[in-house]
Amino acid sequence: MGHRSEILFTLGVLALLGIAWMVRDVLLLIYVSILFAVVLSPAIDQIRRLHIGHWWPGRGFAIFVIISIALLAIVSFAVFALPPMLRDFQMFLGDLPHRLTEVHDRLRGYPFIPNLEVATLQHELEASFGGAFGFFEGVAGALVALFSWLIITAYFILDGHRTFYWFLSFFPDHHRRRLRVTLLRGQVRMRHWLVGQGLLMLILGVCASVTFWLLHLRYSFALGVLAGAMNIVPFIGPLTSFLLAVTVAAFDGWSKVVGVLIFYAIYQQIEQAWLTPRIMNYSVNLPPLAVIIALSLGAALAGVLGALVAVPTAALVAVMLDEYLVRYRGPAAEPTHHVTVEPPVPIAE
């Protein structure tokens, strides 16, 4: 009888895993909504502390304000930022044959370069950027998923406290308190990383776009946005965006190459000496190798969204491992005191 129940339990778990894989896109959307609900909850609480006379905003009004700000940012990006990016990509594709021919002529003296077929390389590059155009052209279809994400995130902000304790109710009483404290500590680390990394990416993207525009660098806006987006990957991301900017600048003259070199040299010094210690002071402190592995696994499993949630998930996993594998030494070594981490108490309506 015992073996039969174990077999049935194993089959049930496998069936649940199979169903989860089939609906992984929906589960990923829910997980992303949970992450952003975790990040936005403190902002909701801050808005609720504001008041006009004897009127205090409720949670629903605070969520409406946050969603309105998010929609305004998205619309502003689509109106002001998207057209320059599309224009830069169109310019790049238009100049691609000429640029590839120049590169081939300049490198003809190096070994193996004469065997390179420029037409084949051009076709592959155009196909890759055609996928990027497909992304921009599919923005209208993505608005449906965006609207769904906003609604689910709003519900998690409204009812996240109850959902959290409903999840804890599946565990025995003697494990519940420790798991609650661990998850809340992981929530704080995930929030700090998301906010801090987002600020660093935004600062680099804005600074790079403005600098490349002042240098009259080709595709300045696209290169600036790419530099900010790739800053999520330590070392490799900034290095890749730097090499792309230097390559583009080299086609227009060495003065622009020098300008790009000076910008990256100054910015890296400012970021390492001033920005990172202040913005990421309370971050997750994951090793760069762990970040790269998490991003690679997330992108392989779920594309862009998978990469987006990979590092916060790695932060949560690191907290769980630190609590249950590194610190845990059996019941005899159970700590006699716990760090008290209480969930935010809702402000009275």
How many whole angstroms from its chain centre is CA 33? 13
Q: How far apart are CA 311 and CA 317, in angstroms?
A: 10
pLDDT of 75: 81
Whether residue 215 contacts residue 256, with contact meaning beta carbons closer than 8 Å, is answered with: yes
pLDDT of residue 337 exceeding 60, the answer is no
Q: Domain residue spans in the chain?
A: 26-170, 174-349
Instruction: Please give the residue that has the higher pLDDT: either 203 or 286.
Output: 203
* CA angle (107 as vertex; 101, 125 as ends), nearest 5: 45
Residue 174: CB atoms within 10 Å: 8
Q: Each residue of 51-102: pLDDT tens digit?
A: 887 888 887 788 888 878 877 887 887 787 777 777 777 777 677 666 666 6
pLDDT of 156: 85
Q: Categorize the per-residue pLDDT at 319 as very low, low, confident or very high, splitting at 50, 70 and 90.
A: confident
pLDDT of 117: 56
Q: Categorize the per-residue pLDDT at 342 as very low, low, confident or very high, splitting at 50, 70 and 90.
A: very low
In this structure, what token pair is assigned to residue 221?
């806006």
Encoded amino acid at 263, one letter: F
Q: How far apart are CA 32 and CA 43, in angstroms?
A: 17
pLDDT of 93: 66
Cβ-in-10-Å burial (0-12, 13-18, 19+) of 84 comes to middle
Encoded amino acid at 231, one letter: N
In this structure, what token pair is assigned to residue 275?
């920005």
pLDDT of 124: 55
Whether residue 205 contacts residue 227, with contact meaning beta carbons closer than 8 Å, is answered with: yes
- Mean pLDDT on 295-314: 81
Within 8 A by CB and 6+ apart from 176, the residues are 168, 169
Question: Given 3-state DSSP classes, what are the helix, strand and coil percentages for the chain, each rounded to the nearest 5?
Answer: 80, 0, 20
Residue 290: CB atoms within 10 Å: 16
Q: Each residue of 133-168: pLDDT tens digit?
A: 444 555 555 666 777 777 888 888 878 788 888 888
Instruction: Please give the share of the chain, as a percent, with pLDDT higher than 70.
Output: 76
Q: Each residue of 231-277: pLDDT tens digit?
A: 877 777 888 889 889 888 887 778 899 999 999 999 989 988 888 77
Average pLDDT across the chain, whole number: 77
Distances from the Cα of 44 to the Cα of 59, 63, 75, 282, angstroms = 7, 6, 22, 21
